[in-house]
Structure 1
Amino acid sequence: MGLALVKDDRIARCNEAFAQILGYASGEMPGQSTRIMFGSDAEWNDRRAVGSRHFADGQASVAELELVRKDGAAFWASIEAQALDPQHPGTGIILALNDITARKRAEQELLASLLREKELNELKSRFVPTVSHEFRTPLSTILSSAELLRLYPDKLDDNEKLNLLTGIEDATKRMRRLLDEVLTLGRAESGVLRLRPTQLALSELCGKVVHEFCIGEGKQHTIVLEDRFDRETAELDENLLRHILNNLLSNAIKYSAPGSTVRLSVERADGNVRLTVEDSGIGIPPEDQPRLFESFHRASNVQNRQGTGLGLAIVKKSVELHGGNITYDTRVDAGTRFYVTLPLQPRASAAAA
């Protein structure tokens, strides 16, 4: 424990521990203003005012607060000030000082852990009803179509059979995609999802993804690829990049009217890959924007459109693993534009994630 005698806001004498805690040699301390312990004049004046009130009531002034060492480094300390004569504090004040940085750090880590546990519990409580609901529709489609094919094989013509089989196929794909979203998010939340970059033919991959949407869930929309990327390859994780493109394009299609245009542009900007996905759909209400990337959150204007609220959470995780960022512009009933920026080469911290 560091101990010091203070008179007229100056350190008269102190023990070795007091000087060491503040990063000084004991010989440097006598005559120093107590201001050296604080990060600003405002903090110093506040603590002196609080101490004066306590001394006037005959009490010690006890606090836990951030102080600064000689080198300017901040640290957490418990400090107790006791006037030798409460009626005349100017006669001297005894300061007792302890470095509690390790305890404060442990408290903060524990609090973060508890908050994380609370978030996971909330996530679990939302997971079961959401996923159960999303599985129910495709399962019903599969069961009803299979039953019709089993009961009426001779009464259904070829087109009717093909439509039922296509329905089963689409429902199966939807369930597989839902499972993939859930597993991907679970891996991201548990820290298991890793960045595995390779030299990727970016323009070719974007073209493949757009083609898949054109013959699949986006066949009622016009999907335009604007490819302005001027390099053959970029060092990206193909699996994570597909999560980014698939979810952003799927949302653009889902939340815009059939017949409208969805655009994906890819270009190089300031040494980064820049992807832009634009639609002219329902937009995102201002009250939903702060929670846009939270798991299971869905905007208030989605009405009866299917979805789990996992897509954008996965997109953000995938972007962050690359060391990139995602922003957006949106207007209700006028559309949304998402901007994804990814480094052409993964930063060291991202690659090590």
Structure 2
Amino acid sequence: MSFSNQHIFNLLFEAIPEGAIIANDQQLIIASNSVAEQIFGYEKEELVNQHLNILVPLKYQSNHKTHFSNFLKNKTIQNINYELNLYGIAKNNKKFPLEISLNPFEIDKKLFVIALIIDITNRKEADKKIKNLNTKLEKTIKEKTAELKNTIKQLKEVNINLKREIKKRIEGEAKIKKALQKEQELNSLKTKFLSLVSHEFKTPLSGILTSSMLLDKYKLSNQQDKRDKHIETITQKVHYLNNILNDFLSIESIESSNVNYKFTTFNLSKIVNEVVYNANMLLKNGQKINISTDTNDYVLHQDEKILELILSYLLYNAIKYSLENTTIDIEIYQDSESTIFKFIDEGIGIPKNDQKFIFNRYFRAENVLNIQGTGIGLNIVKSHLENLGGSITFESIEHKGSIFIIKLPLNKKL
């Protein structure tokens, strides 16, 4: 075979970063660059005039001849993916995986093929390592899932042992038992529940388990303060977990239209005082709640417990999403038909792009993803208000605060 400008050809041929081999239509090697010689372990020009089979493992040689002939007939560029498990054989008889690209060309009416070859041994080993890591990861996930189930089982045992000492714990335990008895309802929520709040359970469950184990270590009478500290921790964690479960049960009741609203006539001040009293236990350093209205003369005909739930959600949100040393203002007033509540905070606000989704179930704004929550509270509030003939709107500026406005009829007609 002869080439014009042989010197230029040699320079270009050697500049190819892949291993390059040129063969004629008889599968005889007529040229190879230094990269190819290095890949297969041959000396310079040692491959010239050798048959291509010298580079193909014995078990693949019969198929290789057929594939080569078909390729010459088609005369098209062909990239052969490494996933096909192609192998070459080096001079020292070591077999290794490779990736190859075949390109046909003609010179002086003679047909040649240039093969570009890459040794993918390292890539194969990396793929194997990744596969092994994935296997280990799947195993770890299964183990962690089993640990979570075991932790939940231990939580039930802790609840039974402590329910005589903690009043609020008794309420939470009763609701959990009631939820467990409704197995059909719980199963319908299971998938969404686990995917959304499994991470919300891990931290409080760990705290409960740790405190319950430490309680056994403080048996002396002068260690009551330490016992009280751990009991308080358990109470807070159980209360948080109980609230999450209550949220999901509320959604199920609303969806299945099983909410039985009980309308009574009551003084609004009773509800407001109860909500604020409970919220005071959640206040951060320097936070305070300011009520600008005397509600002693305000009377409503509504569902008392649902209204307390709605007001609690909004006040707790204002506390949770506000910084220390800030004030939360509650304004309440009535007109001829409605009672209006305004919750005004100086919190982190809601990003503008997220505001249209804020009442969607499970939605959480991008600036609160690192704060505990399930993203269903406002959806529950909106659903209850609509069922009670009311409405909820809001105004918010990120980093400055939010105003949530509830409008509720004075008298809900049955």
TM-score calculated relative to the size of structure 1: 0.60
Matching residue within 286, 310, 320 for 1:244: 310
CA distance in 2, matches of 1:344, 1:201: 11
1:320 alignment partner in structure 2? 386
CA distance in 1, matches of 2:193, 2:354: 19
Check whether the contact 1:291–1:297 (CA below 8 A) recurs between aligned residues: yes
1:142 alignment partner in structure 2? 208
CA distance in 2, matches of 1:231, 1:161: 44
Superposed, 1:213-228 pairs within 5 Å as 213-214=279-280, 216-218=281-283, 220=285, 221-228=287-294
Check whether the contact 1:278–1:338 (CA below 8 A) recurs between aligned residues: yes
TM-superposition CA deviations, 1:279-303 (whole Å, max 9, x none): 1000001111111111111110014
**Alpha-carbon offset, residue 152 of structure 1:** 4.9
1:307 alignment partner in structure 2? 373
Q: Cα gap change, 1:208/1:230 in structure 2, threshold over 3 Å: closer, same or farther?
A: closer
Amino acid at match of 2:257: G
**Alpha-carbon offset, residue 140 of structure 1:** 1.2
1:275 aligns with 2:341: yes
**Which runs of 5 or more structure 2 residues have no equivalent in the other structure?**
1-187
Matching residue within 177, 180, 193 for 2:259: 193
Higher relative contact order (CA 8 A, sep 6+): 1
TM-superposition CA deviations, 1:86-136 (whole Å, max 9, x none): xxxxxxxxxxxxxxxxxxxxxxxxxxxxxxxxxxxx987543222322222
Superposed, 1:257-272 pairs within 5 Å as 257-272=323-338
TM-superposition CA deviations, 1:130-159 (whole Å, max 9, x none): 232222222111100011112454598333
**Alpha-carbon offset, residue 191 of structure 1:** 1.4
Superposed, 1:1-353 pairs within 5 Å as 125-153=191-219, 157-214=223-280, 216-218=281-283, 220=285, 221-229=287-295, 231-347=297-413, 351=414
Check whether the contact 1:327–1:338 (CA below 8 A) recurs between aligned residues: yes
**Alpha-carbon offset, residue 322 of structure 1:** 1.1
CA distance in 1, matches of 2:268, 2:250: 22
The secondary structure found in structure 2 opposite 1:157 is: helix
CA distance in 1, matches of 2:191, 2:400: 34
Amino acid at match of 1:141: G
**Which runs of 5 or more structure 1 residues have no equivalent in the other structure?**
1-121
CA distance in 2, matches of 1:156, 1:150: 14
TM-superposition CA deviations, 1:314-341 (whole Å, max 9, x none): 1101111110111001000000000000
CA distance in 2, matches of 1:322, 1:232: 18
CA distance in 2, matches of 1:258, 1:324: 32
Q: Cα gap change, 1:156/1:257 in structure 2, threshold over 3 Å: closer, same or farther?
A: farther
Q: Cα gap change, 1:168/1:175 in structure 2, threshold over 3 Å: closer, same or farther?
A: same
Amino acid at match of 1:345: N
CA distance in 2, matches of 1:253, 1:232: 25
Check whether the contact 2:218–2:224 (CA below 8 A) recurs between aligned residues: no
CA distance in 1, matches of 2:293, 2:238: 32
Check whether the contact 1:248–1:277 (CA below 8 A) recurs between aligned residues: yes
Check whether the contact 1:326–1:339 (CA below 8 A) recurs between aligned residues: yes
CA distance in 2, matches of 1:205, 1:155: 40
CA distance in 1, matches of 2:380, 2:308: 11
CA distance in 2, matches of 1:339, 1:253: 16
Amino acid at match of 1:201: N
1:47 alignment partner in structure 2? none
Amino acid at match of 2:283: G
Q: Which moved more, 1:332-341 or 1:228-237?
A: 228-237
**Alpha-carbon offset, residue 196 of structure 1:** 2.0
Runs (4+) off by over 3 Å: 122-126, 151-158, 228-232
TM-superposition CA deviations, 1:215-253 (whole Å, max 9, x none): x11263201122254744111111210121111011000
CA distance in 1, matches of 2:284, 2:349: 21
CA distance in 2, matches of 1:166, 1:185: 29
Larger-Rg structure: 2
Larger helix proportion, structure 1 or 2?
A: 2
Amino acid at match of 1:329: E
Amino acid at match of 1:340: I
The secondary structure found in structure 1 opposite 2:293 is: strand
**Alpha-carbon offset, residue 162 of structure 1:** 1.8
1:7 alignment partner in structure 2? none
CA distance in 2, matches of 1:123, 1:142: 24
1:53 alignment partner in structure 2? none
Count of residues in correspondence between the two structures: 227
